[in-house]
Amino acid sequence: MIQSFFVYIIFGLTLFVLGNFSLMDERIHLNKNKVPSFWVWHVFLAFLVFAFVSGVRWNVGVDHKAYLKNYLTIQRGGESIFDKEYGFEFVTNLFAENGIHFSFYFGFLAALQLFFIYRTFKNERFLYPFIGIVVIFGPEYLSWMNGTRQMLVATVFVWSIQFIYKRQLLKYAIIIGLASLFHKSAIMLLIFYFIPQKDYFKNRIITISLVGLTLVLGEMSFWIDTLKNASGLLVYVGYDHYSENIDFFVDEVQVRNFGPRRLTILLISIFTIWYSSKLKIRFNNFYFLTYFNLAIGGILLHNLLGNMHHVFVRPLTYLIIFSIATTAYLLVYLKENFYKHSLSFIFVLILSLSYLPLSLVADSGKGKKDYSNYKFYWYHVDK
């Protein structure tokens, strides 16, 4: 566990420092009425560090070993043990059949994930320092290292929001279509183009009350049977192996303890809601409102479905990922108004740094089922 703390702290601090270089570079260019290039050394180095740490990991993420087994099977001349989408298979075969070490394969996929997030905010580099630490120390990094394909699609979705704002349906449809080649569930994201861009959570008191209400409803089961009608949708978006046992998944209520990790996520969302009116004004020239709507929608739905089987929870990652942006915006605003909101800034920053350390402590001692603590592959690959 000590190794994990060391690796993750250095990892997060490196992205934070590189993000500050990007912030300073942006300010220099804006003062000269110039737009900074995206491909500068500090951004490239952030991708390289992210790729390296993610590439040489071992058993970080529940599905890591399954992806590794599939890759090595193909590399040894066998057939894929997965029945996955063409885009994912193409990338996997491209690396495996050319004898490339699996660490480069995993590093490439991880770098792609971070690329789409950084690319989304290429004109808002004041967010980069906080995006780095929110991704690493929040729930996102472990999620990205687990559902690699789906989380790659989720990062593409974040980047594609610009096409919704610009009302460029063809570009949006093409991007989502290409994303579906990595995970079929991307198809469901087409619906978001047609949802009006409105302030759905205008009243913060009502919104916070909804958070509490959905938490209560999530502990009740009287409405859960209605989800048995979702089998058709599961087939359509690529969860057909789940739809055949939909009754089992609905009945298999998985009680997730309301512990410190879930509390940190809820508290951050409540702080974001509390300051939302100010954030909407401060970041009016950006896409904050859409990010906020999607993030809060994800939190509310997760509260409702959080105790059900993960087949119902995993699609919500397409919404929850926007918490990266809303938390970064919140931290930037509180920092800008530090003298007025110093306690809030410190508290939110502590919360933002808490999820991963809590996971390391909680999973320590679980042996092979410890998917959070960091291990280097060269100590385990032959074991």
Task: Note the pLDDT tens digit of each residue in 152-189.
Answer: 999 999 999 999 999 999 999 999 999 999 998 899 99
Give tens-digit pLDDT for 120-140. Answer: 999 999 999 999 999 999 999
CA-CA-CA-CA torsion for 212, 216, 218, 223, nearest 10 degrees? Answer: -120
Contacting residues for 186 by C-beta, under 8 A, at least 6 apart: 153, 156, 157, 176, 179, 180
Q: How far is CA 329 from CA 127, 312, 363, in A?
A: 7, 29, 30
Q: What is the pLDDT of residue 242?
A: 44
Q: How far is CA 91 from CA 112, 149, 181, 182, 293, in A?
A: 12, 11, 11, 10, 33
On average, the pLDDT of the chain sits at 87
Per the listing, tokens 């929001």 go with 161
d(CA 77, CA 72) in angstroms, rounded, equals 9
End-to-end CA distance of the chain: 20
Give tens-digit pLDDT for 25-35. Answer: 988 888 888 88
Record the tokens describing residue 111, joined without a space: 């770098």
d(CA 300, CA 323) in angstroms, rounded, equals 12
**Once rounded to an integer, what is the mean pLDDT over residues 334-348?**
95
pLDDT over 70 at 274, yes or no: yes
pLDDT over 70 at 246, yes or no: no
**Percentage of the residues of the chain whose pLDDT score is greater than 70:** 87
